[in-house]
Amino acid sequence: MSETIELPVPAWRDELEHEYAALRERIEHLVPCLEWPLHLPWIEAINRLKKQRGAVIMAHSYQSPEIFHGVADVTGDSLALAQAAADCDSDLIVLCGVHFMAESAKILAPDKTVLLPDLDAGCSLASSITAEDVRRLRTQHPGVPVVTYVNTSAEVKAETDICCTSANAVQVVESLGVPKVIFLPDNFLGQYVARQTGVELVLWHGRCEVHEKFTAGEARHARERFDAMLVAHPECPPEVLEEADFVGSTSAMGRWLEKEQPARVALITECSMADNLKARFPATEFIKPCNLCPHMQRITLQNIYASLRDLRHAIEIPAEVSARARSALTRMLEIGRTERV
């Protein structure tokens, strides 16, 4: 049974409507009108408490609009949030995302307190591979370097030569100057990278449970039924990517929309990202398909408030693991201008 978290103030005060009128106008097409009175008191309570704590709230692009627009100080993709954690002045960070993202923030900001509102907010990619799996692959392929997607645990990153994002994966693989690379753990992303490089890739069987569900038929339907342009994340199956007008990372999708300004677009990725981009591109009509990430949806206004109130759940990583994982992340960041996942 989930914990009941109570507001520290009455559920509704008339002055909140006036104070948050600008926010309401910005996201009124994203948050149903019946939900707004339920969200607003929590938004107010969180914003007051984070000021008292001197905290910074960071939200991934897959977070729901009331979190992404209502309480977050910093928004972006997983690596952008980790880098922001390292650069921000606050010593207290609430990471609204999944577990590996909070770990990455802690790795790059080891002296800061990083809180994750729900420790069960996981990731199918991160859970698809262990540190022991990586060590076994190294034994099977002696001398072959390991490139690991940032969507992995700290323990897996610690066994890695260098990390990558979905956008810089080709650049990272080719930077090693070797004929063969172990590429982990996303199989579909690995296939996408393999088609763009002459380097032989040893692939793992990991998949994103959000993106693997999409089909080429859904993509074609969006194009034919709604005359929509198709934008897909490279974690999607190869046959879906073949249908797309553009394939790119979370951040790259936003840049493509800004450049192309399509009348209608189907973002073949997580639903909340499309919702949040609607606020940036009101002239573009966003067509489904999309899938919700069940792990991202575990983060709520209520458990963000509880996390701030009780300073729960602080991310802790053994120093030796953190140092080795930091080396893999830092090596990636040193390769020119890093594109983000």
Lowest mean pLDDT among 109-118, 128-137, 276-285, 299-308: 276-285
pLDDT at 34 over 80: no
Q: How confident is the model at residue 110 (pLDDT cuts 50, 70, 90)?
A: very high
Lowest mean pLDDT among 5-14, 65-74, 169-178: 5-14
* Maximum average pLDDT range among 28-42, 271-285, 302-316: 302-316
Q: How confident is the model at residue 245 (pLDDT cuts 50, 70, 90)?
A: very high
Q: How confident is the model at residue 12 (pLDDT cuts 50, 70, 90)?
A: low
Its CATH architecture, for the domain 126-207+318-333, is 3-Layer(aba) Sandwich (3.40)
Query: Which class would CATH give 211-287?
Result: alpha beta
Lowest mean pLDDT among 14-18, 98-102, 301-305: 14-18
Q: What is the pLDDT of residues 64-97, one digit of tens each?
A: 999 999 999 999 988 788 889 889 999 999 999 9
Of 96, 81, 239, 240, which is closest to residue 165 (Cα–Cα)?
81
Residues of the chain with CATH 3.40.50.10800: 14-123+296-310, 126-207+318-333, 211-287
pLDDT at 340 over 50: no
Instruction: Give the per-residue pLDDT at 14.
Output: 66
Task: Indicate the fold that domain 14-123+296-310 takes in CATH.
Answer: Rossmann fold (3.40.50)
Which DSSP string corresponds to 115-180?
E-S-TT---TTGGG--HHHHHHHHHHSTT--EEEESSS-HHHHHT-SEEE-TTTHHHHHHHT--SE
Q: Are 123 and 297 in contact (CB under 8 A)?
A: no
**Average pLDDT taken over every residue of the chain:** 92
Q: What is the pLDDT of residues 297-311, one digit of tens each?
A: 999 999 999 999 999
Helices within the chain (DSSP H only): 14-19, 21-27, 36-53, 65-68, 78-87, 99-108, 131-140, 154-158, 169-175, 187-194, 216-226, 238-243, 250-260, 271-280, 301-310, 319-333
Instruction: Give the per-residue pLDDT at 338.
Output: 41
Q: Would you say the pTM of this structure is higher than 0.85?
A: yes
